[in-house]
């Protein structure tokens, strides 16, 4: 045991500190395995004071800290790279209702646990993606997680009402909305949403929840062009809560065959059965090869959809997470096919938001091709990281997209002012 770990154990006790090889590996990295983990130790705080104490310890010993949740992040944000003490929030896991519609969750609450508590009260916390059985609330907010229900409910940001944070200086700060109208300066809570941990520790978050709609249906559509889906997406409808797609190669990878160029699931939710039925009638008049799914078929679609990114990771795919104008998605995919050669291309994701999880298995994984992919995105506008963040993996985005230059400078200035010694989350976003 080295001197630092000895001191850590003496101060916090063996329950809160782990530094054995297995723990360093398990808690020292996130889902992206392209960066080797290099943690000093893993700390499991049990209350806010523990977080303040580890900050003081880090300052006294010139050490760095890394906030960590369920470690399902896809960009190495929760992977320790320079002997940080990983501060894993899993033991901060209390949940309580603070009003009929407001659910307060500590940062270490597993997302599905929060969703289940909401659904017991016939309410929904619409943070919906395939890793919610492991991801945690602090991580969801720090990455502004979105997912399948974005088109209906927005990203995590839309549901956050209040939060408590601990700043790098150890101050506890309550941030949030005190009233529907509030002009008391900028909304500083926003600083922590999508911050990937660089401004401090999120300790707890109070979420708005929503009533579960009375009626829910899903339809599946097979088509060789997206025109009819675009027609649907042009009409604003609160009923459409997900439009998910798998391209030909994705279907083929999952099933060994593909029925059409695109397989698309459209999810509808409403309190009015008539409204859903009218909409379904309207769809079947306009679209061919559309069919209503039963619950088993719905589950089967989402199971396949969840399996796909896992399979592609195992195959070593280069993953992109782009968002462009949803009405340009087909044109974009055609352009990728045309220009990216010596590669197998898979497209899937949230068609309703124009969020394409483009996965490419390059024959020759050269940097030139990466730039070429980004060049195509640039010509379409949009975001090079729709929901997965930047972390330590996607820092090339700052160089590839000069329009982010000023944002990056402002981010660095804010970081310097909030965390002048750079104690928390080093090497996230920038070195
Ligand atoms: C199979 C799969 C599918 C996915 N699908 C989606 C998807 O559809 N949409 C989507 O948005 N994401 C998706 N993700 C990515 C990931 O699940 C989300 O980003 C999730 O919100 C991360 O939560 P986490 O608790 O695992 O965070 P972690 O991975 O532990 O951490 C993520 C970042 O947040 C910081 N952080 C964690 N906790 C705190 C805290 N308490 N205070 C301050 N900073 C903190 C970490 O330092 C790190 O930078 C997917 C991941 C997988 C593996």
Residue minimizing CA distance to atom 36 of ligand 1: 139
The answer to whether residues 168 and 224 belong to one domain is no
Say how many Å lie between the CA of residue 33 and the centre of ligand 1: 14
Does 1 score more than 80 pLDDT? no
Ligand 1 pocket test, candidate residues 46, 64, 65, 73, most atoms within 8 A of CB:
73
Residue 399 lies in a domain: no
Is residue 136 domain-resident?
yes
127: domain CATH number is 3.30.465.10
* Same domain as 103, residue 84: no
Query: Residues with beta carbon inside 6 Å of ligand 1?
Result: 30-31, 66-74, 77-78, 89, 107, 129-131, 135-136, 138-140, 142-143, 145-147, 196-197, 201-202, 309, 387-388, 391, 425, 428
* Cα distances (Å, whole numbers) of residue 125 to 68, 148, 348: 22, 13, 24
Q: Are residues 196 and 256 in the same domain?
A: no
Structural tokens at position 374:
């980004």
For ligand 1, the distance from its centroid to the CA atom of residue 192, given in whole angstroms, is 14
**At 65, which CATH number?**
3.30.43.10
pLDDT band at 379 (very low <50, low <70, confident <90, very high): very high
Of the residues 211, 226, 254, the one at which a domain ends = 211
User: Is residue 181 in some structural domain?
Assistant: yes
Domain-terminating residue out of 38, 59, 88 = 88
| 282 Cα: distance to centroid of ligand 1 (angstroms) | 38
16 falls within a domain: yes
Nearest-CA residue for atom 38 of ligand 1: 139
| Ligand 1, pocket-test mutation among 135, 196, 387, most atoms within 8 A of CB | 135
Residue nearest to atom 11 of ligand 1 (CA): 145
Q: Is the pLDDT of residue 365 over 80?
A: no
Give the range of the structural domain holding residue 207, as residue numbers without chain letter.
95-211
- Whole-number pLDDT of residue 164: 98
**Mean of the per-residue pLDDT values of the chain:** 94
Cα pseudo-dihedral 218, 293, 285, 231, rounded to 10: 40
Residue 114: which pLDDT band, with cuts at 50, 70 and 90? very high
Q: Which atom of ligand 1 is nearest to the CA of 309?
A: 1
Query: Domain boundary residue among 187, 211, 235?
Result: 211
Same domain (yes/no): 325, 229: yes
Kindly report, residue by residue over 384-422, the tens digit of the pLDDT: 999 999 999 999 999 999 999 999 999 999 999 999 999
Domain count, the chain: 3
- My answer on whether 54 and 111 are in the same domain is no
* Confidence at residue 123, expressed as pLDDT on a 0 to 100 scale: 98
Can you tell me the mean pLDDT for 288-300? 94
**Per-residue three-class SS string for the chain:** CCHHHHHHHHHHCCCCEECCHHHHHHHCCCCCCCCCCCEEEEECCCCHHHHHHHHHHHHHCCCCEEEECCCCCCCCCCCCCCCEEEEECCCCCCEEEEECCEEEEECCCEHHHHHHHHHHCCEECCCCCCCCCCCEHHHHHHCCCCCCCHHHHCCHHHHEEEEEEECCCCCEEEEECCCCCCCCCCCHHHHCCCCCCCCCEEEEEEEECEECCCEEEEEEEEECCCHHHHHHHHCCCCCEEEEEEEEHHHHHHHHCCCCCCEEEEEEEEECCHHHHHHHHHHHHHHCCCEEECCHHHHHHHHHHHHHHHHHHHHCCCEEEEEECCHHHHHHHHHHHHHHCCCEEEEEEEEHHHCEEEEEEEECCCCHHHHHHHHHHHHHHCCECECCCCCCCCCCHHHHHCHHHHHHHHHHHHHHHHHCCCCCECCCCCCC
Residues 254 and 205 occupy one common structural domain: no
The pLDDT of residue 368 is above 80: no
Q: What is the pLDDT of residues 331-349, one digit of tens each?
A: 999 999 999 988 999 999 9
Joined together, the tokens standing for residue 82 give: 């320079």
387 belongs to a structural domain: no
136 has which bridge partners?
A: 110
**Ligand 1: which of 115, 131, 140, 309 to mutate, most ligand atoms within 8 Å of CB?**
131
Distance 48 CA to ligand 1 centre (A): 21
Q: Compute the distance from residue 144 Cα to the ligand 1 centre, in Å.
A: 8
User: Are 12 and 63 in a shared domain?
Assistant: yes
Instruction: Give the atom of ligand 1 at the shortest distance from the alpha carbon of 138.
Output: 41
> pLDDT digits over 173-218, tens only?
999 977 778 888 999 999 999 999 999 999 999 999 999 999 999 9
């Amino acid at each position: 045991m080295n001197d630092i770990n000895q001191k850590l154990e003496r101060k916090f006790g063996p329950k809160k500190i782990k530094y054995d090889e297995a723990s360093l590996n398990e808690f020292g990295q996130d889902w992206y395995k392209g960066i080797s983990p290099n943690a000093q130790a893993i700390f499991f705080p049990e209350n806010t004071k523990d977080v303040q104490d580890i900050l003081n310890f880090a300052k006294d010993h010139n050490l760095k800290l890394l906030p960590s949740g369920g470690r399902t992040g896809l960009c190495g944000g929760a992977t320790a790279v320079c002997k940080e003490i990983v501060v894993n929030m899993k033991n901060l896991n209390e949940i309580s209702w603070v009003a009929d519609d407001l659910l307060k969750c500590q940062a270490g609450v597993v997302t599905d646990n929060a969703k289940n508590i909401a659904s017991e009260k016939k309410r929904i916390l619409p943070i919906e993606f395939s890793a919610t059985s492991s991801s945690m609330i602090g991580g969801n907010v720090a990455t502004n997680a979105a997912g399948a229900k974005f088109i209906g409910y927005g990203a995590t940001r839309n549901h956050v009402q209040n939060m408590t944070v601990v700043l790098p200086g150890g101050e506890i700060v309550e941030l949030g909305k005190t009233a529907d109208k509030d002009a008391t300066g900028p909304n500083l809570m926003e600083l922590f949403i999508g911050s990937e941990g660089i401004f401090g520790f999120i300790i707890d978050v109070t979420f708005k929840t929503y009533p579960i709609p009375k009626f829910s249906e899903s339809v599946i559509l097979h088509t060789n062009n997206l025109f009819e889906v675009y027609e649907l997406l042009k009409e604003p409808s609160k009923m459409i809560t997900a439009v998910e797609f798998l391209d030909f190669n994705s279907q083929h990878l999952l099933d060994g065959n593909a029925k059409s160029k695109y397989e698309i699931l459209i999810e509808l939710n409403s309190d009015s059965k008539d409204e859903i039925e009218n909409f379904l009638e309207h769809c079947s008049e306009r679209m061919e090869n559309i069919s209503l799914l039963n619950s088993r078929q719905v589950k089967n679609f989402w199971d396949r959809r969840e399996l796909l990114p896992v399979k592609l990771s195992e195959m070593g795919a280069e993953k992109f997470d782009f968002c462009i104008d949803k009405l340009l998605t087909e044109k974009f995919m055609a352009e990728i096919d045309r220009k990216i050669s010596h590669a197998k291309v898979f497209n899937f994701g949230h068609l309703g938001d124009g969020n394409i999880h483009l996965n490419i298995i390059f024959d020759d994984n050269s940097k030139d091709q990466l730039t070429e992919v980004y060049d195509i995105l640039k010509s379409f506008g949009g975001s090079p990281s729709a929901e997965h963040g930047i972390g330590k993996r996607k820092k090339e985005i700052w160089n590839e997209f000069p329009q982010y230059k000023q944002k990056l400078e402002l981010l660095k200035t804010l970081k310097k002012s909030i965390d002048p010694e750079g104690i928390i989350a080093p090497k996230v976003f920038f070195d």
